[in-house]
């Protein structure tokens, strides 16, 4: 999808990455989820407009905790760290992340400070959704603290010069009522994305890619269980090559509304 602005969502092992990618796409910006092990050179080669670090289930203090190559901060692409991702930003760039023994879970009142780029045009006091145990106690050199909560002295931080930002809370969840606006600020005010991508573009791209991959005369088979993933895959392949697709029903033991028909119904 190189013809569209792209935001990379770096996955640190939690379901949050999927939701972040969805929120970005709902803003009509194309997003891709990539592993934290991806080389910085490969990230840069994709020419992203922005990079988002997802949350994760581990502590940054655990041995072997997933982390990106610190060189990612030097490729000239805006970075937004969310929850665990924000703690990585703080730790890797010289701040302090501590095990305070006082986590925050659920609805929390955020106290923002004036002048933030990421939190621009938002109320100085707002509800956010927290899910963390460690806390950022001190921002790295060059960063400004832009929000705090009762248990998190650094609930948001930013370095506009390097275009690196972090939030301890989760703007991607519905329980952060103004979270969509925060993501919009990052995507459009900071990254300069153009909101011109839609799911229809993905369908068109994949259909053409499948036609090229299969060729003009070859046939294809598709394992079809009745789940969302295999059903969508079958529909895309059928749209691309029509009757040259044969679906094989795979009964993995769960209930399914699909029959063992050779062809899926493609809308």
- Concerning whether 247 is annotated as a catalytic residue, the answer is no
Spell out the per-residue pLDDT of the chain, length 267, in tens: 567 899 999 999 888 899 999 999 999 999 999 999 999 999 999 999 999 999 988 889 888 899 999 999 999 999 999 999 999 999 999 999 998 777 788 899 999 999 999 999 999 999 999 988 899 999 999 999 999 999 999 999 999 999 999 999 999 999 999 999 999 999 999 999 999 988 766 778 788 888 999 898 899 999 988 787 888 888 889 988 899 999 998 887 655 444 444 444 443
pLDDT value, residue 201: 66
What lies within 8 Å, CB to CB, of 6 at 6+ separation is 29, 30, 31, 32, 46, 47, 48, 49
pLDDT for position 260: 43
- The verdict on whether 170 is a catalytic residue reads yes
Cα angle for residues 109, 111, 114 (degrees, 5° grid)? 150
Confidence at residue 149, expressed as pLDDT on a 0 to 100 scale: 95
Of 83, 191, 193, 247, the active-site residue reads 83
Token duo for residue 230: 């295999």
The structural domains of the chain, ordered by start, are 6-190 (3.40.50.880), 199-249 (no CATH)
Contact 249, 219 (CB under 8 A): no
151 burial level (CB within 10 Å; 0-12, 13-18, 19+):
middle
Q: Rounded to whole angstroms, what are the CA distances from 49 to 57, 180, 187?
A: 27, 18, 8
Note if 172 is an active site residue.
yes
Instruction: Report pLDDT for 2.
Output: 67
Q: Which of 170, 193, 238, 247 is catalytic?
A: 170
The active-site residue out of 172, 184, 222, 247 is 172
What is the structure's pLDDT at 217? 86
- Per-residue pLDDT, 43: 96
The runs of H, that is alpha helices, within 152-227 are 179-184, 199-214
């Amino acid at each position: 999808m190189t013809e569209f602005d792209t935001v990379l969502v770096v996955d640190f092992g939690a379901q949050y990455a999927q939701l972040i990618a969805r929120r970005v796409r709902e803003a009509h910006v194309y997003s891709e989820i990539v592993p934290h092990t991806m080389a910085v050179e490969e990230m840069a080669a994709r020419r992203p407009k922005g990079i988002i670090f997802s949350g994760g289930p581990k502590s940054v203090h655990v041995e072997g905790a997933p982390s990106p190559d610190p060189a990612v901060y030097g490729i000239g692409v805006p970075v937004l760290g969310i929850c665990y991702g924000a703690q990585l930003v703080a730790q890797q760039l010289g701040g302090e992340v501590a095990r305070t023994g006082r986590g925050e879970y659920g609805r929390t009142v955020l106290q923002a400070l004036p002048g933030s780029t990421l939190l621009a045009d938002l109320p100085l006091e707002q509800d956010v959704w927290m899910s963390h145990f460690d806390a950022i106690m001190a921002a790295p050199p060059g960063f400004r603290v832009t929000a705090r909560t009762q248990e998190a002295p650094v609930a948001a931080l930013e370095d506009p010069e390097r275009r690196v930002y972090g939030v301890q809370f989760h703007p991607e969840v519905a329980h952060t009522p103004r979270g969509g606006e925060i993501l919009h600020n990052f995507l459009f005010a900071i990254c300069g994305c153009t909101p011109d991508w839609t799911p229809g573009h993905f369908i068109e791209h994949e259909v053409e890619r499948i036609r090229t991959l299969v060729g003009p005369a070859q046939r294809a088979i598709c394992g079809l269980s009745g789940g969302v993933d295999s059903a969508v895959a079958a529909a895309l392949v059928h749209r691309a090559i029509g009757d040259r697709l044969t679906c094989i029903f795979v009964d993995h033991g769960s209930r399914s509304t699909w029959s063992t028909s050779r062809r899926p119904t493609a809308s």
